[in-house]
């Protein structure tokens, strides 16, 4: 019989560092954005998080190389869009963000699914996956709103005319957790469809992924107890 080759465990501090910078960006950036002199730090925190994310992507699947190739034009277009240097740069940046975040989601799902026990790094990876998925959907909302102005409306968007990406990230996490405050609402069938798909994933993540982690942890404890006896 052919022995199954075990997948390597998630090692290092990549996911821990990524989680730290993601939380700084998601929680801290909205407080800095209203102040032009400090807003640059909010954008810089996202850039740092995206750079750190490269080291959480699997090497052997050549995904890390793809992430590096995507990151450079992504950050260039993102910063050009902040200062409106190139008119199409925001659309291109949001598109590349969606592709980049999608690559991260794929890599993280693969790594978590091939884990054999619940470790601290697996928990960091799972939490990072949840946050990255929220940012992935936020970039889709921002992209759709740039392509179809008025796809979303609400008082929060009206109050954030300069940089709406934080509003869409907030809206994404509100939708992902199915809170539905109503301060931002879809105005087109396509926009509503994106919200619907994200809400479904949010319920799926909680019901399936969390239950799977708990089940894997209980199974590992059971196997460890059998080995000791």
Q: Say what the pLDDT of residue 141 is.
A: 96
Q: Say what the pLDDT of residue 3 is.
A: 40
> What are the extents of the domains in the chain?
14-224
Whole-structure pTM value: 0.87
pLDDT confidence band for 87 (50 / 70 / 90): low
pLDDT confidence band for 222 (50 / 70 / 90): low
Q: What is the mean pLDDT of residues 127-153?
A: 94
Q: Say what the pLDDT of residue 208 is.
A: 85
Residue written as token pair 């975040």? 101
Give tens-digit pLDDT for 162-220.
668 889 999 999 999 988 888 899 999 999 999 999 999 998 888 888 888 887 767 76
Residue 184: how many other CB atoms lie within 10 Å: 23
Q: Say what the pLDDT of residue 192 is.
A: 95
Instruction: Please indicate whether residue 56 or residue 10 has the higher confidence score (pLDDT).
Output: 56
Give tens-digit pLDDT for 65-79.
888 999 999 888 888
- The DSSP string of 98-123 is HHHHHHHHHHHHHHHHT-SS--HHHH
User: Among 105, 72, 191, 104, which residue's Cα sits nearest to residue 142?
Assistant: 191
Strand partners, 186: 152
pLDDT confidence band for 20 (50 / 70 / 90): very high
Fold of 14-224: Helix Hairpins (1.10.287)
């Amino acid at each position: 019989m052919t022995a199954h080759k075990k997948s390597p465990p998630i090692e290092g501090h990549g996911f821990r560092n990524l989680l730290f910078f993601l939380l700084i960006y998601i929680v801290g950036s909205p407080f800095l954005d209203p102040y032009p002199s400090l807003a640059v730090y909010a954008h810089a925190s996202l850039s740092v998080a995206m750079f750190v994310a490269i080291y959480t992507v699997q090497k052997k699947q050549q995904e890390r190389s793809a992430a590096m190739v995507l990151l450079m034009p992504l950050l260039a277009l993102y910063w050009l869009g902040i200062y409106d240097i190139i008119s199409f740069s925001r659309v291109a940046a949001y598109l590349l963000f969606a592709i980049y975040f999608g690559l991260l989601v794929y890599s993280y799902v693969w790594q978590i699914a091939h884990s054999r026990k619940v470790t601290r790094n697996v928990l960091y990876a799972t939490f990072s996956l949840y946050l990255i998925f929220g940012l992935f959907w936020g970039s889709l909302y921002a992209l759709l709103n740039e392509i179809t102005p008025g796809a979303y409306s609400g008082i929060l968007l009206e109050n954030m005319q300069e940089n709406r990406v934080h509003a869409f990230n907030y809206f994404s996490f509100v939708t992902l957790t199915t809170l539905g405050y109503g301060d931002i609402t879809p105005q087109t069938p396509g926009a509503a469809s994106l919200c619907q798909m994200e809400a479904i994933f949010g319920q799926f993540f909680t019901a399936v992924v969390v239950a799977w982690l708990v089940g894997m942890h209980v199974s590992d404890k059971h196997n460890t107890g059998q080995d000791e006896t």
